[in-house]
Structure 1
């Protein structure tokens, strides 16, 4: 195995492990309202990414790419939509972790690659091969089983999969380095987050007016926790073939599932078992299709 592939695997494993254990990080802030955590995530991500751009000397590149993105209405709208979509994704995930629904978030990220495949068909005119059709059907059966048994749609799982697939689709057509797009996304949403925290300060106070040092450090660390795995993933994607990146992506929801069940004692019922079984079969067919393509 060549050195590039080894480094790609290390970067990939690091990014997916960090994403997988992030619920533990957010649970340390369970006493903070989810929207205040979301606000902190955007604000501190902006600070952290700006610092990285400054240290690496890429501020000029970032500025040039930003001008290029907003040089046309189409690309500018895509960038704004990406920022909005990822804010919903982050917010739903944080709320779900605080609400003790970590297992359901793992369902969302298991079916995410299959939703991305469907979006490729709908929006990019891509065609599914037979194995991919079978994979999507199995995943749909898994979700349908939860709906029948519980009488309601697993909205957390579906929302996380749909928002992240939408985000991935938008980022696919935006031509810029990862640091630039993260910088723009956080800057677009940060004024709203600052306004929200200011509003809270006038009506009872926000978390920063009353938190202890430990809470402040966790909130400030949200920027590092957000940007680091994304940058590691970007490095991984550049060094590894797509099928290897796709295969490793199941590591993150698997870790999250184990954390939810064995650390936080969330229920794993027969309904979960049947649903996960269908989804895993679908992912098996999906992975097989990717391997055959390679």
Structure 2
């Protein structure tokens, strides 16, 4: 099996775990969402610490928290905690379809944030995709009489998380470990002062909550492994497996109502993502052709060039 094939397999597995995670959180409906979030943060911390201890890299977390980037790590921690809470709440409240809509919208929100914050250029196809997504949200709001707040909150918090992560010079596992280190005191404080709804004898619930650690860490590690081995265009397309599976869980497993307004909004979102993905693939191929031409012609690539070597 080639390195690229292993990367695609890891990416598919990561997106599948994320996409089927509603089935897991549905088993914890009897536990308040804030409490599930607290346990998820603490068990994720345990799992990440064990991984970094085995790799001999735990000291990197201490350096990160003691460094100047701690405020960015704190911002990332707040955003990912908000995103986790929103998703858990959505599943428990029977809004899994809206959660999937949020993760469908996220790539387009990320495009807008990149344009607004990092002055990234948007092509015509990207603007068309963003316009279609906005039309879908407006149509859904008009039809249902209320904006899809959960979807918008999930898309915006995950987008803001991406903005913070883009400015962090840390590996994904080290970064997330530092984030849950900062969240741990809040999680412990919540469990101590707000109390717990879980009885001491309900070992099945505690076992499920402990599973949230590897369920959070494993797909992230797989995704990081894949991102180093496959093209970003491939990553962008394959990641839509995640909200698609979430959508399937909501409609086929949980029996959530799919109204005619959803029947209008979701196809618009899918069309927007198709346009966006095709444009991203074409841009990726064009970049690879330029890079290949530069290598063949013996062009020297410097730090200040627009073409930069990929990090190992």
**TM-score, length-scaled by structure 2:** 0.88
Cα deviation per residue 1:149-204 (whole Å; 9 max; x = unaligned)?
A: 11211000000000001111111110111121111111101101101110134xxx
Cα deviation per residue 1:118-162 (whole Å; 9 max; x = unaligned)?
A: 000000000100100000001111001011111211000000000
SS at match of 1:265: coil
Q: Which of 213, 238, 241 is the matching residue for 2:203?
A: 213
User: 1:208, CA displacement in angstroms?
Assistant: 4.7
Q: Which has the higher contact order (CA 8 A, sep 6+)?
A: 1
Matched positions, count: 284
User: 1:71, CA displacement in angstroms?
Assistant: 2.8
> Cα gap change, 1:251/1:45 in structure 2, threshold over 3 Å: closer, same or farther?
same
Paired with 1:277 and 1:182, the residues of 2 have a C-alpha distance of 34
SS at match of 2:228: helix
1:119 aligns with 2:119: no
Paired with 2:108 and 2:163, the residues of 1 have a C-alpha distance of 13
1:143 aligns with 2:142: no
Paired with 2:226 and 2:15, the residues of 1 have a C-alpha distance of 10
Q: How does 1:106-255 map to 2 (within 5 A)?
A: 106-201=100-195, 206-255=196-245
Residue 71 of structure 1 corresponds to 67
Residue 8 of structure 1 corresponds to 7
User: 1:210, CA displacement in angstroms?
Assistant: 3.2
> Cα gap change, 1:19/1:99 in structure 2, threshold over 3 Å: closer, same or farther?
same
Q: Which of 86, 90, 95 is the matching residue for 1:96?
A: 90
Cα deviation per residue 1:40-81 (whole Å; 9 max; x = unaligned)?
A: 0001000110011112222234434x15xx432xx2221110
Paired with 2:207 and 2:142, the residues of 1 have a C-alpha distance of 43
Is contact 2:140–2:148 with CA below 8 Å preserved after alignment? yes
Is contact 2:44–2:213 with CA below 8 Å preserved after alignment? yes
Is contact 2:18–2:219 with CA below 8 Å preserved after alignment? yes
Paired with 1:42 and 1:143, the residues of 2 have a C-alpha distance of 31
SS at match of 1:221: helix
In proportion to residue count, which structure has more helix? Answer: 1
Residue 294 of structure 2 corresponds to none
**TM-score, length-scaled by structure 1:** 0.94
Larger radius of gyration: 2
Residue 77 of structure 2 corresponds to 83
Unaligned runs of 5+ in 2: 285-312
Paired with 1:271 and 1:52, the residues of 2 have a C-alpha distance of 45
Paired with 2:143 and 2:263, the residues of 1 have a C-alpha distance of 12
Paired with 2:270 and 2:113, the residues of 1 have a C-alpha distance of 20
RMSD (Å), alpha carbons:
1.2
Paired with 1:211 and 1:230, the residues of 2 have a C-alpha distance of 32
Paired with 1:140 and 1:97, the residues of 2 have a C-alpha distance of 24
Cα deviation per residue 1:245-286 (whole Å; 9 max; x = unaligned)?
A: 000011000001011101110111111010001111110110
Cα deviation per residue 1:220-269 (whole Å; 9 max; x = unaligned)?
A: 11111111111111111111111000000110000010111011101111
